[in-house]
A and B are shown apart, each in its own frame.
Chain A
Amino acid sequence: MGLKEYMNDIVEAVTTTAKGMRITARYGVDPKEEVTLQYPEERWEIPAGYRGFLNNDVKTCTACTMCVKVCPVDCISLESVRGADKKMVLASYDINIGRCMYCGLCVEVCPPKSLKHTSGYEMASVARGELILHFIAEDAAEIKARVARQVAEAAVKAEAAKAADLSSDLSSEAARAAKEEAAKGEPKK
């Protein structure tokens, strides 16, 4: 190593250090350069298409199970039963958001657009099992029992109507009684 190189080394070390220090100093004294967002107090503006927690508008959901099928990680589970009017009735609709990866595939396929992303992103729990969103508050078994009852009643009604039709010669008393019973059962639900 020649003397020239030796001196060059020193000079270069000093100048490059000075250059770097000038930049850090500028950041150090310029308060405008601070970019930290003080999170709980300050929040950033969430854009329109943000893929946050999922929300299912259970009133419009048709229980078509498209979302269940498309979800790559199987985190949607839904139970449904066929209602009296032949439409599917949701008994339960749960999303395990601890497992969900917010990919949005389920939202894309939902035919009535009832499943949507919200802008929510904050949730904490001490156990993974608690990270489940229940969209139907009522117990699934209860709903199922209720719908089953409805179906059964409708069946009875239909049966009765048929019976009335077929055996119009039978005493109209019985038919009326059956009808009344069916009508009474209705408002209970």
Chain B
Amino acid sequence: MTVRTDALPTQEMTINMGPQHPSTHGVLRVILTTDGEVVTRAVPDVGYLHRGLEKIGERVTYAQFMPFTDRLDYLAAMNCNCAWAWAVEKLAKIEVPERAEYLRVIVCELNRISSHLIAFGSYTADMGAFTPFLYAIRERERVNDLFEMLCGNRLTYNYARVGGVSGDAPPGFLEKTKEFLDYFEPKLDEYNNLISYNKIFVHRLANVAVIPAEEAVAYGLTGPNLRGSGVPFDLRKDEPYSVYPKFDFKVCVGTGERGTPGDCFDRYMVRINEMRESVRIVRQAVARIPDGPVMAKVPRLFKPPAGEAYFRSECPRGETGIYLISDGSVNPFRLKIRTGSFVAMNIFEKVTRGLMIADIVAVIGSLDIILPEIDR
């Protein structure tokens, strides 16, 4: 959509959106330069939530860093937990019992569902429909109940351990998981009927902030943001880790079903469809989970050999890559975390040029950023 602004000479206005703003998903600050409602420039200003996680990681032991990964992306703490565990295991070449891997996949996919639920819910709330948000929260509570049963906490799980997971599934957990999946799957259709295909909603998202496939790749987008542009890249398939190759699932991509491929609606729809795929994965994992131990033998004073490792895994907000250098001591020598949201922020300024203020909110929501991941 083009808005003609050359007819009337007008003055530009600088507006400070955030760091306290209902729709910036945390403490993101966007400096908007607007011409009336039209945004001529939107510069994200990040860093309000910087806690120096990477530096902390260099001062604590490998095991001690696990609870900090909960804070890397608090909406998908399980995924971050497992990513850290996998990275350290890659560094130290630890074999993990299969049951532990299955449990990790189950919790990762459940967490992907709950994280996408928040993305979906807060997105609709940003668009002005508050009701789906509460439905999403309700479903997420169920996932949290499952996690609480499994590991004792509802938000910061600290479930994975280097070499396995902190505890086996308590009796009844797998049945409850199945129950949840049966309950949850029809809800997705309900969401689609309620809001996804609502005319206003479609109009708000379709053709807004189109990211062409080449551009998405060039900017290093990952996860649903990349797949929304039609690039079928999913680390679970393309660089399989853990037990993912054993499961049958589809990589969801944006098809431009209501507009141009790579618009906000595609990114939104990819998330909705991914929840369905996650349900499929969890179903298969629950059905096939083997018996056995859930923890490999890891010495209490864990010292990985000197060396380095980069491990990347598919988190709900894109690729979470963990780069570790070990000097053979109990602490990592260097830790660098690459997160999907941070990279997604790069393209923000480019795609928001010429949009309207309301679209800025739509773009932030469609990129599904989370601030702790950006600022770390």
Residue on B with the closest CB to A14?
B199
Q: CA separation between A76 and B197, bound complex, in Å?
A: 53
Known: A12-B199, A72-B67, A103-B66. A35 touches B138 (CB 8 A): yes
Q: Within residues 127 to 164 of chain B, which ones have a CB less than 8 A from any CB in chain A? A: 131, 138, 141, 145, 148-153, 156, 158
Chain B: interface size category: 20 to 34
Q: How many residues of A contact B (CB 8 A)?
A: 27
- Quick one: which of A19, A27, A49 contacts B152, CB cutoff 8 A? A49
Q: CA separation between A104 and B153, bound complex, in Å?
A: 10
Residues from chain B with Cβ under 8 Å of A101 in the complex: 67, 70, 156
Q: CA separation between A13 and B151, bound complex, in Å?
A: 46
Q: Does A171 contact B (CB under 8 A)?
A: no
- Report which B residues bind A (CB closer than 8 A): 60, 63-68, 70, 131, 138, 141, 145, 148-153, 156, 158, 166-167, 170, 190, 193-195, 197-200, 300
- Quick one: which of B67, B70, B156, B199 contacts A13, CB cutoff 8 A? B199
Residues from chain A with Cβ under 8 Å of B156 in the complex: 101-103
Asked if B167 and A16 make an inter-chain contact with CB atoms under 8 angstroms apart, the answer reads no
Of A12, A70, A104, A108, chain B has the most CB atoms within 10 Å of the CB of A104
Would you give the 0/1 interface string for A104-123, flagging 1 where the beta carbon is closer than 8 Å to chain B?
11001100000001000000
Residue on A with the closest CB to B192?
A19
- Quick one: which of B65, B141, B190 contacts A23, CB cutoff 8 A? B190
Residues from chain B with Cβ under 8 Å of A35 in the complex: 138, 141
Asked if A23 and B64 make an inter-chain contact with CB atoms under 8 angstroms apart, the answer reads no
A35 to chain B, nearest CB (A): 5
Q: Does A187 contact B (CB under 8 A)?
A: no
Residue on A with the closest CB to B300?
A109
Asked if B198 and A104 make an inter-chain contact with CB atoms under 8 angstroms apart, the answer reads no
Asked if B63 and A70 make an inter-chain contact with CB atoms under 8 angstroms apart, the answer reads yes
B42 to chain A, nearest CB (A): 30
Q: Which 8 A/B pairs are nearest by Cβ-Cβ distance?
A: A51-B152, A103-B67, A72-B64, A13-B199, A49-B152, A47-B149, A103-B158, A23-B194
Asked if A23 and B193 make an inter-chain contact with CB atoms under 8 angstroms apart, the answer reads yes
Q: Does A50 contact B (CB under 8 A)?
A: yes
Q: CA separation between A147 and B199, bound complex, in Å?
A: 77
